[in-house]
Structure 1
Amino acid sequence: MSFFESAKAVLLAPIRVLQLGTSAKSFLDHPLIGSERLNRMGLHRARVRAADALCRARRRRLARHVRAEWKEAFDRDGFVVVKNVVPEDDFAALRAAILETEWPAREMRQGDAITRRIAIDPDMLAEVPALKRLLRRKDINALFHYVASFRTTPLHYIQTIVSRSGDEGPDPQQEVHADSFHASMKAWLFLNRVTEDDGPFTYVPGSHRFTQERLDWEHQRSLRDPQSIDRLSARGSPRVDNASLAEMNLGKAEPLPLPPNTLVVADTGGFHARGPSRKPGARVEIWSYARRNPFWPWTGGDFLSLRGVAERRVGWLWSFRDRFEDQIGQPWQPVGKRRPSED
């Protein structure tokens, strides 16, 4: 190691230690998180246990706001399915307004799939009143909060998954995986029917619970050389096979083919995937995402969730990454105005 590398390591050491109390998850890029010695001593297991304990404590405080049947389904399975979530007339207006309008869009390619996202921002909310009514519903937001374990407003997008768009290799989202070592919330409100051939959302029921078997699996994966495993797992989004699921007393991932106007809200700390697409096509949904520092004990205190601020975050985030693309990267490239259903 050169003098400059040694000096850099010394200067960064306090920051690296502080990052252990955040959602930092990469075994590949973080010398402490990826340390076999520290993980043999129980570092990763301790982080997982602490994050899970705090998550359960926050959910207990948020539970009284959630519909009983939704809470029961989530506690059992790790996800909730709500059919006909939007009144029929509102859904027809919402769907037509979104699908028949061109909006500023960005895209990212992973394997043979293209993900297109359109920010749900103040302009869209003004143009689609039914969408604003949906996203401000108290019962829906209470469910979002419970699954995320925080009273935070998710980032909202119109998302299109264009499947089998080329020969660039398999879509990595089709591998069963967890997003991180702790709970986070994602939601999909499907604007069109999703069949088993359309790359449906799949989930391993019950895998959101950090049981002793899951903790043991987490410990064992923390001991592997991050250079010897796939890059996404090494960066903290672990892929899992059926044999490992069986070791954790879990079943296989189950696909969820669903009709339009169905909302799915899931804890993506559990094992999930995008099902295989057996034909080219476009899956269109309202997609929502929330993740905060898993080691915070409080449920609120999120300034960015304030009305008037929350709706602008996606645009700010994209602009920030555009400005510092050379330093932090920007996978989401602008593609002009697009209709969500274009493939």
Structure 2
Amino acid sequence: MSLARALKTITLSPIWFIQLGTGAKSFLDNPLIGSRRLNRMGLHRMRVKIADGLARWRRSRLARDVPASWREEFERNGFVVIENVIPEDEFSGLRDALLGTAWEAREMRQGDAITRRIAVDPAMLNAVPALARFFERKDIKALFHYVATYRTTPLHYVQTIVSNCPGYEADPQETLHADSFHASMKAWLFLRPVALDQGPFTYVRGSHRFTPERIQWEYLRSLADPKAIDRLSARGSPRIGEADLEQMSFGPAEALPMPANTLIVADTAGFHARGPAQQWGERVEIWSYARRNPFLPWLGGDLLSLPGIAERRIGWLWAFRDRFEKYIGQPWQKCEARPPVDS
């Protein structure tokens, strides 16, 4: 081992060790998480089982505020679908206000898809009061908390997926995957209908449950050389195929076309994907995301969820990454103020 490498190991070892008690998931970036020796002894399997046990315990304490039908649907499938979630007259005004206004936006390309995001910030909430009222609904907040397993305020964006851009490889989000080894929440409120050939939400029903078969699969994947598998899997977001689903006794993935004004709230520890888009198009939605340290035993305590802070986090995060792009990277590039869709 070179002197420089030895010094790096000595310096970073305390950080790598501390990360074992967080949601850190990369088998490439943390040599403890990626250690085949430690994982043969059960390190990854232990992290998965502890995180799952705590998530189920937190959900049991949050369940009383969630309508029983939503709770039962989530426990069965790993996601909840709510059609006509906003009264139609209010939804049409909300949609027209969002799609008819130019907003500051950011874009990122993955394969043949461009993801465009606009922060739901104080300016947008003031301009579109119906959106603010939706996020303040007690039933919606309770569902977000239940799926996320924490009383935390998600990050909210207006998100546009531009699919099938010519001249690029396939979108990696079209491959079935889990976001992490522990529970996390994502939600989509579709502002326009999404047909079967337009990149629909796709999910393996029930795969949010860490069954004995899923835990064994997690154990076996932890033994793989992270340098010999695809990069996204090595960084902790495993891609899977039909054989993996059979190994875990799960059924096939199901693509779900949705009408406008439909909300989906899902645990993305379950296996999911963006279904393949058969032609160029723009899918537009309000996209929400929440993920916290899976090893915390309490429900709240998230200072970043405080009013006045929660709705400004995205702007601060983008500005921070812009400032330190040289060191930590910045995949979200600025683009001119524009409406969410072109057509």
C-alpha distance in 2 between matches for 1:311 and 1:184: 19
| Aligned partner of residue 48 in structure 1, secondary structure | helix
2:110 aligns with 110
C-alpha distance in 1 between matches for 2:230 and 2:4: 30
| Residue type of the alignment partner of 2:201 | F
> What are the superposed Cα offsets for residues 152-192 of structure 1, whole Å, 9 maximum, x if unpaired?
00000000000011211000000000000000000000000
C-alpha distance in 1 between matches for 2:111 and 2:261: 28
Question: Following TM superposition, by how much is the alpha carbon of 1:296 offset from its aligned partner in structure 2, in angstroms?
Answer: 0.4
- Cα root mean square deviation, aligned: 0.7
C-alpha distance in 1 between matches for 2:327 and 2:40: 33
C-alpha distance in 2 between matches for 1:337 and 1:111: 24
1:93 aligns with 93
C-alpha distance in 1 between matches for 2:208 and 2:24: 19
C-alpha distance in 2 between matches for 1:342 and 1:321: 27
Residues 1-10 or 318-327, more deviating: 1-10
C-alpha distance in 2 between matches for 1:307 and 1:125: 13
Q: How does 1:1-343 map to 2 (within 5 A)?
A: 1-342=1-342
| Runs of at least 4 residues off by over 3 Å | none
Question: Following TM superposition, by how much is the alpha carbon of 1:336 offset from its aligned partner in structure 2, in angstroms?
Answer: 1.1
Question: Following TM superposition, by how much is the alpha carbon of 1:115 offset from its aligned partner in structure 2, in angstroms?
Answer: 0.1
| Aligned partner of residue 295 in structure 1, secondary structure | coil
Question: Following TM superposition, by how much is the alpha carbon of 1:4 offset from its aligned partner in structure 2, in angstroms?
Answer: 2.2
Question: Following TM superposition, by how much is the alpha carbon of 1:298 offset from its aligned partner in structure 2, in angstroms?
Answer: 0.5
| Residue type of the alignment partner of 2:130 | A
Question: Following TM superposition, by how much is the alpha carbon of 1:3 offset from its aligned partner in structure 2, in angstroms?
Answer: 1.2
| Aligned partner of residue 227 in structure 2, secondary structure | helix
| Residue type of the alignment partner of 2:256 | L
| Aligned partner of residue 278 in structure 2, secondary structure | coil
C-alpha distance in 1 between matches for 2:176 and 2:63: 28
> What are the superposed Cα offsets for residues 71-116 of structure 1, whole Å, 9 maximum, x if unpaired?
0000010000000000111101100000011100000000000000
| Residue type of the alignment partner of 2:178 | A
| Residue type of the alignment partner of 1:86 | I
Question: Following TM superposition, by how much is the alpha carbon of 1:11 offset from its aligned partner in structure 2, in angstroms?
Answer: 2.0
What is the number of residues matched between the two proteins? 343
Q: Which runs of 5+ in 1 are unaligned?
A: none
| Residue type of the alignment partner of 1:257 | P
- In the superposition, the TM-score normalised over structure 2's length comes to 0.99
Question: Following TM superposition, by how much is the alpha carbon of 1:64 offset from its aligned partner in structure 2, in angstroms?
Answer: 0.3
| Aligned partner of residue 31 in structure 2, secondary structure | coil
C-alpha distance in 2 between matches for 1:253 and 1:283: 20
C-alpha distance in 1 between matches for 2:242 and 2:174: 14
> What are the superposed Cα offsets for residues 125-170 of structure 1, whole Å, 9 maximum, x if unpaired?
0000110100111100000000000000000000000001121100
C-alpha distance in 1 between matches for 2:295 and 2:329: 27
Question: Following TM superposition, by how much is the alpha carbon of 1:247 offset from its aligned partner in structure 2, in angstroms?
Answer: 0.9
C-alpha distance in 1 between matches for 2:218 and 2:337: 43
Q: Which runs of 5+ in 2 are unaligned?
A: none
C-alpha distance in 2 between matches for 1:13 and 1:237: 23
| Residue type of the alignment partner of 2:181 | F
Question: Following TM superposition, by how much is the alpha carbon of 1:338 offset from its aligned partner in structure 2, in angstroms?
Answer: 1.5
